[in-house]
């Protein structure tokens, strides 16, 4: 009886008693949701165009951030380092297309998924070899990103909003808007959507699959760079970031594997759900449930709507 009260009534009582804490938790959830959404965006881009679930997206985030910071530490000015990192991501995209995607054309998805595993290990080793394994500080202020926070007093307390988080939200929305324009208004975007629909049909109307794949992996690389900058600005750049990329999976499930707005919405829902769940229901089971709560949310969602909020319906045919 008491247990039922603790699960269903008490958390809401707590929410009402301290609304400033609730708003703070909501804001923190939205912030981490934006960052999850950015990672999920990279996954969606590559999955839409090449049908590959790019497990290496997480390590690409870390690698991009490391390259940026590493270049800066060697004396390259901040914006030049940024441009050089973008070039590095382009080289990486070309390399991946040449050495992994082209030889493995037409193989089952699981094989391509495993190939991205190999890519992950390769990038981990390369990153550690070149840049070293110790955590690094992201050059946020040198890139023009704000620091400090706003404090809003409300109810009986106050809510603290970090300026960098607001900047992250703005940059994420700009990126989504940019990608939306790319996909819907340009010729390349049309070609990307065609390739996402069917590789063979796209080939038969003359779209170069190889070029499209390079473009899409490059776009994912740029998204990874932006994600790396944002994540790194909040906490240091280290290889632990790579495991956080696994958090993008529930986001993708929720939003649908092939939908950009789905990645955003899914990210926000998972971020908020995770933080609120951990804060109000976590103490009941001993805390630290952030590691699996997102997956449970995604699992429950899967049982009712397997294709996610915005994904394409899965139709099975005999």
Partner 1 sequence: MLYREVGQYKTSYAADQALLPILQDRIGIVVILLIAFVGVPLTASDFTLNSVLIPILVFSLAATGLNLLTGYTGLLSLGTGGFMGVGAYACYKLTTYFPQVNIIVLILSSGFFAAAVGIAFGLPSLRIKGFYLAVATLAAQFFLSWCFIRIPWLYNYNISASIEVPTKTLFGLAVTGPTATSVTRYLIVLTIVAVLTLIAANLVRGRTGRTWMAVRDMDLAAELIGIRLYQTKLLSFAVSSFYCGVAGAMLVFLYLGNAEPSSFDINQSFLILFMVIIGGLGSLLGSFLGAALIWGLPILLRHAPAFFGLSIESAKVDQSTFMILGVLIIFFLVVEPQGLARLWQIGKQKLRMWPFPY
105 contacts: CB under 8 Å, gap ≥ 6: none
Interacting residues of 118 by C-beta distance below 8 A, sequence separation 6+: 100
Q: Applying CB under 8 A, which part among 7-15, 134-142, 194-202, 247-255 lies near partner 1?
A: 247-255
Stretches 184-192, 220-228, 264-272, 292-300: which one binds partner 1 (CB under 8 A)? Answer: 292-300
Is 246 a binding residue for partner 1 by CB under 8 A? The answer is yes
Cα radius of gyration rounded to whole Å, the chain:
21
**Can you tell me which of 86, 161, 295, 309 binds partner 1, judged by CB under 8 A?**
295
Cα–Cα dist 93/210, whole Å: 11
CA distances in angstroms from 42 to 21, 161, 175, listed in the order given = 32, 26, 11
Q: Is 147 in the site for partner 1 (CB under 8 A)?
A: no
Considering beta carbons, is residue 4 or 318 the nearer one to partner 1?
A: 318
C-alpha distances (whole Å) from 187 to each of 107, 181, 197 are 28, 11, 15
Q: How far is CA 305 from the centre of its chain?
A: 22
**Smallest separation, CB 93 to partner 1 (Å):** 16
Choice between 41 and 96, CB closer to partner 1: 96
Q: How far is the CB of 41 from partner 1 (least distance, A)?
A: 18
Closer by beta carbon to partner 1, 206 or else 286:
286
Q: Could you tell me if 255 and 266 are in contact, meaning their C-beta atoms sit under 8 angstroms apart?
A: yes
Compute the distance between CA of residue 16 and CA of residue 280 in angstroms, rounded to an integer: 12
Q: How far is the CB of 149 from partner 1 (least distance, A)?
A: 31
| 91 touching partner 1, by CB under 8 A | no
Taking a C-beta distance cutoff of 8 angstroms, is the pair 294, 274 a contact? yes
By CB under 8 A, residue 123 contacts partner 1: yes
Sequence-ordered strand ranges (E) for the chain: 149-154, 157-162
**C-beta of 175: minimal distance to partner 1 in Å?**
25
Applying CB under 8 A, does 315 fall inside the site for partner 1?
no
104: contact with partner 1 by CB under 8 A = yes
Among 53, 78, 84, 281, binds partner 1 (CB under 8 A): 53
How many residues lie near partner 1 (CB under 8 A)? 47
* Rounded distance between C-alpha atoms, residue 38 and residue 175, angstroms: 9
Task: By CB under 8 A, tell whether 126 contacts partner 1.
Answer: yes
Nearer to partner 1, 49 or 139 (CB): 49
Give the torsion sign (CA, 169, 174, 177, 183). negative
Please say which residue, 5 or 121, places its beta carbon nearer to partner 1: 121
Helix axis angle for 290-304 and 260-276, nearest 10°, is: 130
Q: Which of 133, 56, 47, 44 is nearest to 89 (CA)?
A: 56
Answer for which of 8, 107, 178, 262 binds partner 1 (CB under 8 A) is 107
Tell me whether residue 115 or residue 272 sits nearer to partner 1 (CB atom). 115
| From 67-75, 76-84, 189-197, 293-301, span contacting partner 1 (CB under 8 A) | 293-301
Question: CB count, 10 Å around CB of 205?
Answer: 8
Q: Which is nearer to partner 1, 156 or 305 (CB)?
A: 305
Q: Which residues pair with 151 in a beta bridge?
A: 160
Note the residues at the interface with partner 1 (CB under 8 A): 53, 99-100, 103-104, 107-111, 114-115, 117-126, 128-129, 243, 246, 249-250, 253, 257, 285-289, 291-292, 295-296, 298-299, 302-303, 306, 314, 316, 318
């Amino acid at each position: 009886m008491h247990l039922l009260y603790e699960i269903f009534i008490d958390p809401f009582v707590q929410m009402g008693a301290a609304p400033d804490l609730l708003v703070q938790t909501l804001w923190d959830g939205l912030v981490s949701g934006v960052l999850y959404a950015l990672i999920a965006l990279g996954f969606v881009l590559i999955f839409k165009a090449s049908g590959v679930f790019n497990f290496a997206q997480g390590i690409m985030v870390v690698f991009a951030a490391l390259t940026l910071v590493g270049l800066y530490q060697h004396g390259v000015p901040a914006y030049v380092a940024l441009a050089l990192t973008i070039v590095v991501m382009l080289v990486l995209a070309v390399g991946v297309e040449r050495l992994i995607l082209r030889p493995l054309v037409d193989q089952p998805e699981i094989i391509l998924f495993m190939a991205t595993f190999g890519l992950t290990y390769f990038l981990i080793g390369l990153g550690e070899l070149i840049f070293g394994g110790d955590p690094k500080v992201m050059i946020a202020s040198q890139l023009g990103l704000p620091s400090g926070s706003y404090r809003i007093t409300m109810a009986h307390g106050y809510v603290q909003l970090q300026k960098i988080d607001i900047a992250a939200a703005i940059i994420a929305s700009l990126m989504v808007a940019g990608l939306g324009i790319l996909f819907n208004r340009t010729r390349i975007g049309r070609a990307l959507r065609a390739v996402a629909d069917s590789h063979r049909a796209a080939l038969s109307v003359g779209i170069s699959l190889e070029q499209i794949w390079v473009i899409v992996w490059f776009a994912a690389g740029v998204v990874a760079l932006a994600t790396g900058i944002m994540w790194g600005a909040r906490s240091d750049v280290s290889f632990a970031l790579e495991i956080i990329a696994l958090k993008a999976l529930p986001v993708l499930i929720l939003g649908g594997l092939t939908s950009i707005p789905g990645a955003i919405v899914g990210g926000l829902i998972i971020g908020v759900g995770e933080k609120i769940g951990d804060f109000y229901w976590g103490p009941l089971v001993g805390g630290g449930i952030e590691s699996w709560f997102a997956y449970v949310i995604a699992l429950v969602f899967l049982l009712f709507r397997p294709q996610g909020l915005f994904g394409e319906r899965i139709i099975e045919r005999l």
